[in-house]
Amino acid sequence: MNSVSFTIAGDITRDLVVYLQSISYSGSSSATLLSEPILIFIDSTDPNLWLPDSVCDAFEKAFGLVLDSETGLYLVNDTHNTELLNSDAQVTFRLSDVSSGGDAVTIVLPYNAFSLTAQPPLVNSSSYYFPLKRAANSTQYTLGRTFLQEAYLSVDYDRGVFNVSACAWNEGAEQNIVTITPKDSDSSTCSGSSCSSSAGSSEGSSPLTRGAVAGISIAALVGVVILAAVLFFFIRRQRQKAAYKATPPEPDVSVLSGPVHNAVPPNPPHTDQGPPQARFWSPDAVLGGVSESNNGESSGDGFNSENSASKHGMELDGQDIQTKPVYHELPGSEVWRTGPDPASVVRRVRTLYT
């Protein structure tokens, strides 16, 4: 492998493009087959050399070729093929990354590299042919597999460069495989298209690129953040549970104060009738103290009928409009007043039956 480096073209359909500066022939005579440089594509999928018409004419003259109109091939009979093999004819291709001058690589192809065999259905019977095609325009200029019989092609798509070197036909040559390391690898040193691993790296090792390291780092950071969030919420939940258990329940104020009707009413004003007594409402007590006529006379308990109670036990406001019953809690010593007077009960029974 040489040190000449070629730049990969931007067109992915024709990316391995070089400047073919010249083509020369040597054998029984010598001739220049290409004098003007052209851009040409190296393609391993096509066996032929696609060259301009003028170059094809020069090949025809140098090798004594005749184009077969039926097959479109430069057929070579056995006798002519043997003569060309014995003439030691060869073709030299000069390749460079620039149109003229600069670093260049020379690939020499003997006639034997051009002596291919055509088989049916291309031809009716097996025959030798010269793999040369006339290109319609510059987009068809191609060096096919015939050229690669005598050349090595190595491509480094990561760095956008490739290399073309002449094949070495030395029998018994020692194998020397050079690893093309990734572009972002810090353990590799490259000079042009010739890249080799550093001496300190172990054989067969595959160092991680910076992108891979960055991806691993980001994944690890995300994992740590998720774990920290889970621990935070778990600890917070445990603390909330502990605080809830430690806080005594607050008493309900409404329960402690009791219903409104249990409140002790203010003491009535003092009269000459004796010490004030707490009033207690009940239907029997109200009926027992209200006169049957209920026409303004005083009741038995000393209250005016204007503030008397209805027959259904509802307190009246003086205009026979019922208001809400008034509840008053009696002290424990006057619980006996909550029931009806036995004497009044007897009087009522007598009245009913008389």
pLDDT at 215: 85
Lateral strand order in the sheet of 6-7: 6-7, 161-166, 151-156
Q: Mean of the pLDDT values across residues 107-120?
A: 93
Q: 340 near 285, Cβ under 8 Å?
A: yes
Q: What span, in angstroms and rounded, lies between the C-alpha atoms of 5 and 259?
A: 102
Residue 119 token pair? 């088989």
Lateral strand order in the sheet of 127-130: 74-76, 127-130, 116-118
Write the DSSP assignment of 187-243 as a string of letters. Answer: TEEEETTEEEE-TTSPTT--PPPHHHHHHHHHHHHHHHHHHHHHHHHHHHHHHHHHH
Q: With bands split at pLDDT 50, 70 and 90, how would you rate the model's confidence at 95?
A: very high
pLDDT at 53: 95
Q: With bands split at pLDDT 50, 70 and 90, how would you rate the model's confidence at 299?
A: very low
Q: What span, in angstroms and rounded, lies between the C-alpha atoms of 327 and 329?
A: 7
To the question of pTM greater than 0.85 for the whole model, the response is no
Residue 104 token pair? 């260049």
3-state secondary structure of 351: helix
pLDDT in tens, 2-56: 778 899 998 888 999 999 999 999 987 899 999 899 999 999 999 999 999 999 9
* Selection from 189-193, 207-211, 327-331, 343-347 with the highest mean pLDDT: 207-211
Higher pLDDT, 286 or 91: 91
Could you give the dihedral angle defined by the CA atoms of residues 286, 288, 293 and 295, in that order, rounded to the nearest 10 degrees?
-40
Tell me the backbone φ, ψ of residue 228, rounded to 5 degrees. -65, -40
**In terms of DSSP H, where are the helices of 11-164?**
53-63, 78-86, 111-114, 145-148
Could you give the dihedral angle defined by the CA atoms of residues 49, 163, 165 and 182, in that order, rounded to the nearest 10 degrees?
-130
pLDDT at 114: 95
**CATH number 3.40.50.10860 is the correct assignment for the domain at 6-197:** no
Phi-psi region of 350 (alpha: psi -120 to 50; beta: other; left: phi over 0): alpha
Q: What span, in angstroms and rounded, lies between the C-alpha atoms of 153 and 191?
A: 17
Enumerate the domain spans of the chain: 6-197, 208-246, 276-354
pLDDT in tens, 175-191: 878 787 888 775 545 54
Q: What span, in angstroms and rounded, lies between the C-alpha atoms of 109 and 216?
A: 50
Higher pLDDT, 135 or 341: 135
Pick the closest to residue 328 from 276, 287, 275, 292 (CA basis). Answer: 276
pLDDT in tens, 212-271: 788 888 999 899 999 999 989 889 888 888 877 766 666 655 555 555 555 555 555 555
pLDDT at 275: 54
Q: What span, in angstroms and rounded, lies between the C-alpha atoms of 157 and 155?
A: 6
Residue 341 token pair? 């007077």
Residue 6 token pair? 């070629």
pLDDT at 139 exceeding the cut of 90: yes
pLDDT at 325: 56
**Residue percentage of the chain with pLDDT more than 70:** 62
Residue 181 token pair? 């390391």
pLDDT at 352 exceeding the cut of 60: no
